[in-house]
Amino acid sequence: MNSESGSILTITRSVCPLCSKELVTNWVKDNIPFFGEVMHITSKCECGLRYSDTMIMDQRKPVRYELKVTTRDDIDARVVRSTSGTIRIPELGVDIEPGPASESFISNIEGVLDRVSDILEMVVRWNEEPKTRRAQELQSIIEKIKAGEFEITVIIEDPLGNSAIIAEKATHRELTQEEAACLKTGMIIFEKE
């Protein structure tokens, strides 16, 4: 137990998926404003493999947030994405869905666009036409969005209710059970007793 914060540290040992040596994982429970109860996870192996994430333990009602980005100021809107959150930007054809290695993050719309741009950069380097051409077109549109010259809609859907867009212009609603059932949840879901 960590006496300063009252956090409990649990250590587990497993097999590294890269080198088959021992993978040591630290699990630390904590309480963070807005998120509630979380689990900080860090895994390390001597081969260099590292993984860290913060998993939100509280399950809330499934939610959908939407923000119309119409001005330069809108890209400063705060984005909270949990490991179970899906981000969609329909005008760009972008869907960022949770997977086995999803990480939560707190950023803003510009930060989300930067993440998309980084992926597009890899597409340009590793692919041939026409994928390269389309990636370059999307990068150009992202620059226009950042300059306030192109409007988009940013949507976050989270079946566990732990993601949000924090802005006056953002709208939100509870997802139906059917809508939530169609979404991916990411890594692991802990159920409280």
pLDDT, averaged across the chain: 86
Please tell me whether residue 178 adopts helix, strand or coil conformation: helix
Domain of residue 50, residue span: 9-56
Q: Is 113 a domain residue?
A: yes
Are residues 115 and 36 both part of a single domain? no
DSSP-assigned beta bridge partners for residue 174? 63
Higher pLDDT, 117 or 59: 117
Report the C-alpha dihedral over residues 83, 186, 132, 139, rounded to 10 degrees.
-20
Q: Which of 85, 77, 105 is nearest to 167 (CA)?
A: 77
Are residues 89 and 164 both part of a single domain? yes
Are residues 104 and 75 both part of a single domain? yes
Average pLDDT in the 46-57 region?
A: 81
Residue 103: band (very low, low, confident or very high) from pLDDT cuts 50, 70, 90? confident
Strands 94-96 and 63-69: unpaired
CB atoms within 10 A of CB 162: 25
Are residues 38 and 67 both part of a single domain? no
pLDDT (tens digit per residue) in 17-34: 889 999 999 999 988 766
Q: Is 38 a domain residue?
A: yes
Are residues 99 and 151 both part of a single domain? yes
Count of domains forming the chain: 2
Give the whole-angstrom CA distance, residue 116 versus residue 135. Answer: 10
**CATH at residue 33:** 2.20.25.420
Task: Give the H or E element holding residue 126.
Answer: helix 109-126
Residue 6: band (very low, low, confident or very high) from pLDDT cuts 50, 70, 90? low
Please state the separation of Cα 63 from the chain's center in Å.
15
Are residues 131 and 172 both part of a single domain? yes
pLDDT (tens digit per residue) in 132-189: 888 999 999 999 999 999 999 999 999 888 889 999 999 999 999 999 888 877 654 4
Please tell me whether residue 42 adopts helix, strand or coil conformation: strand
**CATH at residue 137:** 2.60.120.1040
pTM for this entry = 0.72
Q: Is 3 a domain residue?
A: no
Are residues 45 and 88 both part of a single domain? no
- Among 21, 41, 56, identify where a domain stops: 56
Are residues 77 and 52 both part of a single domain? no
